[in-house]
Amino acid sequence: MPPLRYLLLVLLVLLAAPTRAQQRPGPLAPPVPAVAAPSTPLPATAEAFQAALRRPDLPDTLRVLYLNNLARFAQVTDPTQAHRYVDLALSLARRVGYRQGEANALLMQGSIATASNDALTSQTKTLAALRLFRHLGNREGMGSSLQALGTVAVLAGDHARALQYYQQADSTFRLLMPPCLRCELSARANMANEQLALGQRAAALRTFRQVLARTQGQNDAFGQVRLAALAGIADELARAGRPDSAVLLLHQALALARRSNDQYAEITLLNSLTMRYAPTELADLRQQEYYARQAVRVGRASRQQQPLQVALGNLAEVLHRLGHPAAYDTLLSYLLLSQHLQTAERTKALADAQTRYDMQGQQATIRDLRKDRRLSAQQRELAHLRQRQERLGTGALVALLLLLGGGTFWQYRRHQQQQRTQAAIALRTRLAADLHDDVGNLLTQITLQSDLLRESSTATPAQTLARLERLRDTSRRAARQMADVVWGLHASNATWPEMLTHMRDHAYEVLPPANLAIDFGVSPEAAAAQPGQEVSQQLYLIYKECLHNAVKHARHATQVTVRLWVNAAGQLCLAVQDDAPGPAPVGRAGGQGLNSMRQRAEAVGGSLTVAPGTGGFGVEACLPG
């Protein structure tokens, strides 16, 4: 059974979350995003928040705030609903440009992932929230994000890193104006827990006692911090061979939990009290039985299944030691509850899969909206260019009639404007072609896969899940291709260092999903090169085609090596080599990829060679530097 202090760890992180409105106490309440000076008090219950969300005149910033609060209430009772609420909050905050609400939603997603033991997702979301809080200059949000990262480190067993995060959070909270005492004390209580885990007992007890002293006389908002301090001191006293003192502090914490109506903390403390009595005498066994029965009663009333399972196990063991015939029945209830938990976990896994599918659909909708917005902006730019051309043409004609000497200048400006118009037409034509050829095919696949999924009423769950995964992969490829099309449109204005950065990023986007490692190297001479616009564009297209061929044709390969250097002739050279075993074919039937790459190299005065062999397949292109 883990020490009590770790069961309260997540609660302390959430206590310091950025919020300006106190809600009813809850054991797993996520952070409530704040708005600047709300005109009306915030609701106090989940039902009140839901009623407020139905108001048609509710401002978008308040809607984001209410959705995040609903996610906090649902995190313990219905994690699937919590996911849905926070995803809606994040989508709305990004759509209206509400950065504070977006940061709080990301932090809430990290908290939900932590509760689900998904450390990778928790760390990713919390780091994103931390970056956004730093950009906004929100020290309270920065401290809360550092606390959450400390919790992830604790769950991963890295107590030294966790202590560093909590110390950084404490330093950040101390800079708040006005001060946030509750934030500082929650960070220090977590610091004390990690000091205990690292064997720094004297420092931990000193910190716990400081926290306990500073919470004396404070209001109910400090209840969870005080509970954590009492539990931490009791745990250390029990470890030091002072069980009576530990039991006394646990009783104080239990009284505080009952006054706060915190049933999760109450059942956890009762379980801890059950384990503090050594079963050496009959009186101790009777006391253990009393605490175990109390824990079972509270667990059943609050429907807290995990601590209830522990309480039932403790009660069964005590009854067995007392020779009580009800021990078998209690143990049977314990086993039935375990089976119920396993069934609930399987149900939750299926619900999580459905939630991820819904989230991908929402993200696709957002990408479509952004694409429409970009197309509209490009059309407005073209209209602006046409209007400017008309104004310049009229002015040039007037100038020609007034001054014969201005004719040459007018001809020059007209020629320049025609070049801009042709460039705009070429941009639109290229965009349409890229969208049709690259993205259109993937969107058609998504449509066909969606129709197949909807019409497959007799498919097994495994078949349905496989189709969902294919649909997810196709959607990701479409998004990646869309991003690459957009990059291609702006590549003409990109510098050579920006082009190298994008080439490296593109490799990490394409190769890892295909289980291919990346070895990307650029020589100092190549990094300092200054190739022309046409050369850099053709080199990037050749590089992109090489990666595509490696993903598609390099069977059983584990790594792709990319090298850029300047040869003795002063040419900029690119080599892409995979390590697929066995003889590699020069090309495949009907394939035009190598011919296309060779034509691109020759179009700018370069050359391309193919180097197949027993150790993989390689392509080397050298273009004028």
> Could you read off the pLDDT of 366-425 as tens digits, one per residue?
776 777 788 778 888 878 888 888 888 777 777 777 877 666 777 777 776 776 667 556
Q: Residue 69 belongs to a domain with what CATH number?
A: 1.25.40.10
Which pLDDT value is given to residue 219?
Answer: 72
What was the pLDDT predicted at 562? 96
Kind plus residue range of the DSSP H or E element containing 576: strand 571-578
Q: Considering all CA atoms of the chain, what is the largest pairwise distance in Å, rounded to the nearest integer?
A: 118
Give the integer Cα–Cα distance in Å for 621 and 601: 7
**Sign of the alpha-carbon dihedral angle for 141, 197, 232, 79:** positive
Tokens of 505: 């990023």
Burial class (CB within 10 angstroms; exposed 0-12, middle 13-18, buried 19+) of 397 = exposed
Q: Report yes or no on 372 lying in a domain.
A: no
Determine, yes or no, domain membership for 356.
Answer: no
The answer as to whether 338 is a domain residue is yes
The more confidently predicted of residues 424 and 245 is 245
pLDDT in tens, 166-224: 989 988 988 888 888 888 888 888 888 888 888 888 888 888 888 877 877 777 667 67
Q: Are strands 517-522 and 559-566 parallel, antiparallel or unpaired?
A: parallel
Residue 146 sits in the same domain as residue 201: yes
Distances (CA, A) of 135 to 99, 103, 138, 142: 10, 10, 8, 10
**What does the alpha-carbon distance between residue 246 and residue 237 come to, in Å, rounded to a whole number?**
5
Q: What length is written for the chain?
A: 625
Between 446 and 343, where is the model more confident? 446
364 found inside a domain: no
Residue 371 tokens read as 């694409």
Least confident residue range of 29-43, 474-488, 551-565, 569-583: 29-43
Evaluate whether residue 314 is within a structural domain: yes
pLDDT in tens, 545-558: 999 889 888 888 99
The domain boundary residue, chosen from 431, 466, 493: 493
Range of the domain at 203: 8-261
User: Is the domain of 388 the same as that of 438?
Assistant: yes
Q: Are residues 213 and 140 part of one domain?
A: yes
Residue 608: what pLDDT? 95
DSSP 171-208: HHHHT-SS--HHHHHHHHHHHHHHHHHTT-HHHHHHHH
- The residue among 345, 365, 394 that closes a domain is 345
**Residues 485 and 611 grouped into a single domain:** no
Asked whether the predicted pLDDT for residue 469 surpasses 90, the reply is no
pLDDT at 122 over 60: yes
pLDDT digits (tens, 9 = 90+) for 13-42: 444 344 322 222 222 232 333 333 344 566
Rounded alpha-carbon distances, angstroms, from residue 287 to 1, 267, 275, 298, 580: 19, 16, 10, 17, 68
**Lowest-confidence pick of 156-160, 253-257, 514-518:** 253-257
Residues 70 and 171 grouped into a single domain: yes
pLDDT value of residue 305: 66
Mean pLDDT of the chain: 76
Residue 204, CB-side half-sphere exposure with 13 Å CA sphere: 24
Same domain for 473 and 523, yes or no, is: no
Residue 292 lies in a domain: yes
The pLDDT score that the predictor gives to residue 616 is 83
Query: 150 and 165 in contact (C-beta within 8 Å)?
Result: yes
Q: HEC profile for 329-393?
A: HHHHHHHHHHHHHHHHHHHHHHHHHHHHHHHHHHHHHHHHHHHHHHHHHHHHHHHHHHHHHHHHH
Q: What is the pLDDT of residue 590?
A: 38
> Average pLDDT of 260-285?
70
Q: Count how many Cα atoms sit within 13 Å of the Cα of residue 422 in the half-sphere of its side chain.
A: 6
The alpha carbon torsion through 546, 551, 557, 561 (nearest 10 deg) reads: 40
pLDDT digits (tens, 9 = 90+) for 555-565: 889 999 999 99
**Cβ-based neighbour number of residue 401 at 10 Å:** 10
Distance CA 67, CA 71 (A): 6
Most confident listed range (367-381, 481-495, 588-602, 609-623): 609-623
- The reported pLDDT for the residue numbered 528 is 92
Region of poorest pLDDT, from 125-129, 428-432, 568-572: 428-432
Reply yes or no on whether the pLDDT at 363 is more than 90.
Answer: no
Neighbour-count burial for 147-173, b at 16+ CB within 10 Å, e otherwise: bbbbbbbbbeeebebbbbbbbbbbebb
Q: Quick one: 170 and 42 in the same domain?
A: yes
Most confidently modeled of 210-224, 300-314, 595-609? 595-609
199: its two tokens: 């064997």
Side chain identity, residue 140? E
Tell me, yes or no, whether 190 and 61 share the same domain.
yes
Question: Mean pLDDT, to the nearest integer, of 39-46?
Answer: 66
Locus of tokens 């449109």: 489
Q: Phi/psi of residue 611, each to 5°?
A: -125, 75
**Residue 307 vs residues 176, 234, 339: alpha-carbon distances, Å:** 37, 19, 15
SS3 category, 31: coil
358, part of any domain = no
CATH code, 507 = 3.30.565.10
Domain boundary among 261, 287, 320: 261
Check if the beta carbon of residue 556 is closer than 8 Å to that of residue 568: no
- pLDDT at residue number 33: 34
The verdict on whether omega for the bond into residue 25 sits within 30 degrees of 0, i.e. cis, is no
CA-closest candidate to residue 132, choices 96, 165, 167, 104: 104
Rg (CA), the chain: 32
Task: Please check whether residues 465 and 513 belong to one and the same domain.
Answer: no
**Per-residue confidence (pLDDT) for residue 577, from 0 to 100:** 93
Q: Which residue has the higher pLDDT, 79 or 529?
A: 529
For the chain, give the percent of residues with pLDDT over 70: 73
- Write out pLDDT tens, residues 334-344: 656 665 665 55
Of 623 and 322, the one with more pLDDT: 623
In sign, the C-alpha dihedral spanning 170, 174, 177, 178 is: positive
Same domain, 174 and 241: yes
pLDDT, tens digit, for every residue of 76-120?
Answer: 667 788 889 999 999 999 999 999 999 999 999 998 888 777 888
Q: How many domains does the chain have?
A: 4
Which uninterrupted H or E stretch holds 577? Answer: strand 571-578
Of 125, 160, 157, 161, nearest to 144 by C-alpha is: 125
> Does 521 lie in the same domain as 447?
no
In the predicted model, what is the mean pLDDT of residues 347-351?
A: 51
Cα angle 113, 149, 77 (rounded to 5 degrees) comes to 30
Name the residue with higher pLDDT: 351 or 201.
Answer: 201
User: How is residue 585 annotated by DSSP?
Assistant: P
Residue 589: what residue type? A
pLDDT-based confidence at residue 542 (cuts at 50, 70, 90)? very high
CA distance 410 to 396: 5
- 244 and 142 within one domain: yes
1 in any annotated domain: no
**Which residue is listed with tokens 């039902």?**
47
Q: Out of 145-149, 152-156, 305-309, which region has the weakest mean confidence (pLDDT)?
A: 305-309
CB 485 within 8 A of CB 435: yes
Cα–Cα distance for residue pair 114/38, rounded to 1 Å:
30
Least reliable range by pLDDT among 210-224, 318-332, 561-575: 318-332
pLDDT interval class at 2 (50, 70, 90):
very low
